[in-house]
């Protein structure tokens, strides 16, 4: 291990020792005797030279600190990073002297994790201040190691200012896009609602003219198409708005009787199932099961899974909503006898705006947000969602909650 530098070598903690070791190695090469005759000492000395070479010449900042965060040894990369010219300008000072005032707690946490809790290593991102007063972001990785009865911290510093700037720029762009999307979505909802209202008024007007004979089939058909398109557009807008809501708000979970909850949730889909010739089943355990849920948001998960199952299950098929409990875990399953999902699509099913999305058996389209939303809500509940599916053999989505 590296010994602490003495006062005579403050300008370069390794210079005197390196010179002596180089001279000793030269004598060994020439076959002459030296003051060191122990082969183990020779091996140790050579390993020290190798380590110091790496330490001093590394392009990454490297330093050794005491438990009180005093800088014991430092390489030139750290000196340059902090805007100084010589190592002795840093040695003997605490790293807190170079920490941004808003980030001193980062180093105190590092100190506690390494020397109090005895973690073998610890990493963080923090902000340091240069000699000219400017600041920069730094990735810090520190390793605890023993040295002559003490425990020191071997610390690597990497300037990540460029990366942090890029992250900030990308976040601003993302926030701006999200804001524009949310505003546009809200604005579009109003005219769609007006179109739906006008279509409803026209349908009533057509139905009220009984004395003038039956309405033209084309008119009824076109009004139905307009109404269907408006309903689909509203559903898509709700998905987009829901994504924004998930980013901003947490969940207020309440104890819920899951048998009663699932019975009510499945009932919403029975009419659609009957219209498509698909049977919906509910498989519940004999004993009551309670779970902590945000009823409305978790209901969105079940609605998405059941709607997807209805889209891809042909007439005569079955969809089963199942609840089980085992080893303190609650598991939901939505299983269908539909067309299944090709294995090549599994990896991206839960992605936002899923590029592998497919139209339903009746041509139903989607934003590709449904499963993304489901995954986010399940994870906000502390749970996990996954699927098992084979083409032409059906699909089963599983949700497990603590």
Domain 60-159 grouped into CATH 3.30.450.20: yes
The one-digit pLDDT tens for each residue of the chain (402 residues) are 444 444 444 444 445 455 554 555 554 455 444 444 567 777 767 777 787 887 888 889 999 999 999 999 999 999 999 999 999 999 999 999 999 999 999 999 999 999 999 999 999 999 999 999 999 999 999 999 998 888 999 999 999 999 999 988 888 877 776 666 666 666 677 778 788 788 888 878 777 766 666 667 777 777 877 877 777 677 667 766 666 666 545 667 899 999 999 999 998 888 888 888 999 999 999 988 999 998 888 988 998 899 889 988 989 999 999 999 988 889 999 999 988 888 888 888 888 766 556 555 565 556 567 788 889 889 888 899 999 988 888 899 999 998
What pLDDT does 271 receive?
A: 85
Which class does domain 165-248 fall in? Answer: mainly alpha
What pLDDT does 396 receive?
A: 94
How crowded is the C-beta side of 147, counted as CA atoms within 13 Å?
17
Q: Bin 69: left if φ > 0, else alpha if -120 < ψ < 50, else beta.
A: left
Give the domain 254-401 fold: Heat Shock Protein 90 (3.30.565)
Beta bridge partners of 38: none
Residue carrying structure tokens 């001093």? 56
- In 3-state terms the chain splits into helix, strand, coil percentages (rounded to 5) of 50, 20, 30
**What is d(CA 66, CA 50) in angstroms, rounded to the nearest whole number?**
23
Q: Are 135 and 151 in contact (CB under 8 A)?
A: no
Q: Are 131 and 84 in contact (CB under 8 A)?
A: yes
* CA distances for 50 relative to 1, 27, 136, 300, angstroms: 12, 18, 31, 61
pLDDT tens digit sequence for 319-358? 999 999 988 889 999 999 988 888 888 888 888 766 556 5
Q: Are 64 and 2 in contact (CB under 8 A)?
A: yes
* CA distances for 363 relative to 180, 312, 358, 359, 389, angstroms: 30, 10, 9, 5, 21
Per-domain residue ranges for the chain? 1-57, 60-159, 165-248, 254-401
Beta bridge partners of 323: 332
What pLDDT does 246 receive?
A: 63
How crowded is the C-beta side of 385, counted as CA atoms within 13 Å?
23
What pLDDT does 42 receive?
A: 75
Say how many C-beta atoms besides its own lie within 10 A of residue 154's C-beta: 19
Q: Are 396 and 387 in contact (CB under 8 A)?
A: yes
Task: State what percent of residues in the chain have pLDDT above 90.
Answer: 39
Q: Are 127 and 99 in contact (CB under 8 A)?
A: yes
What pLDDT does 385 receive?
A: 93
What pLDDT does 8 receive?
A: 40
Q: Which of 160, 156, 159, 161 is nearest to 74 (CA)?
A: 156
């Amino acid at each position: 291990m590296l010994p602490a530098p003495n006062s005579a070598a403050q300008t370069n903690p390794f210079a005197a020792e390196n010179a002596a070791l180089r001279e000793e190695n030269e004598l060994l090469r020439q076959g002459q005797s030296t003051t060191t005759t122990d082969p183990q000492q020779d091996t140790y000395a050579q390993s020290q030279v190798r380590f110091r070479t790496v330490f001093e010449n590394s392009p990454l900042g490297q330093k050794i600190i005491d438990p009180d965060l005093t800088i014991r040894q430092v390489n030139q990369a750290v000196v340059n990073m902090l805007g100084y010219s010589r190592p002795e300008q840093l040695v003997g000072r605490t790293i807190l002297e170079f920490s941004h005032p808003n980030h001193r707690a980062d180093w105190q946490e590092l100190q506690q994790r390494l020397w109090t809790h005895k973690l073998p290593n610890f990493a963080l991102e923090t902000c340091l201040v240069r000699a000219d007063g400017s600041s920069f972001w730094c990735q810090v990785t520190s390793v605890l190691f023993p040295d002559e009865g003490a425990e020191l911290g071997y610390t690597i510093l990497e300037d990540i200012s460029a990366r942090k700037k890029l992250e900030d720029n990308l976040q601003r762009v993302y926030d701006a896009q999200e804001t524009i999307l949310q505003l546009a979505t809200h604005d579009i909802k109003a005219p769609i609602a007006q179109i739906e209202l006008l279509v409803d008024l026209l349908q009533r007007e057509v139905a009220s003219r009984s004395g003038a004979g039956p309405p033209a089939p084309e008119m009824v058909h076109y009004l139905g198409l307009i109404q269907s398109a408006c309903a689909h557009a509203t559903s898509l807008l709700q998905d987009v708005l829901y994504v924004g809501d998930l980013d901003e708000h947490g969940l207020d979970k309440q104890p819920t009787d899951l048998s009663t909850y699932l019975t009510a949730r499945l009932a919403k889909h029975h009419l659609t199932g009957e219209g498509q010739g698909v049977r919906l089943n509910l498989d519940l355990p004999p004993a009551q099961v309670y779970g902590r849920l945000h009823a409305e948001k978790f209901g969105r998960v079940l609605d998405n899974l059941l709607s997807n199952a209805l889209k891809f299950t042909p007439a005569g098929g079955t969809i089963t909503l199942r609840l089980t409990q085992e080893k303190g875990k609650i598991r939901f399953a939505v299983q269908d006898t539909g067309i299944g999902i090709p294995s090549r699509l599994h990896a991206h099913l839960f992605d936002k705006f899923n590029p592998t999305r497919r139209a339903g058996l009746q041509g139903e389209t989607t934003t590709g947000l449904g499963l993304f939303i489901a995954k986010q809500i399940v994870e906000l509940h502390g749970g996990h969602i996954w699927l098992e599916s084979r083409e032409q053999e059906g699909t089963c989505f599983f949700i497990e909650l603590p």
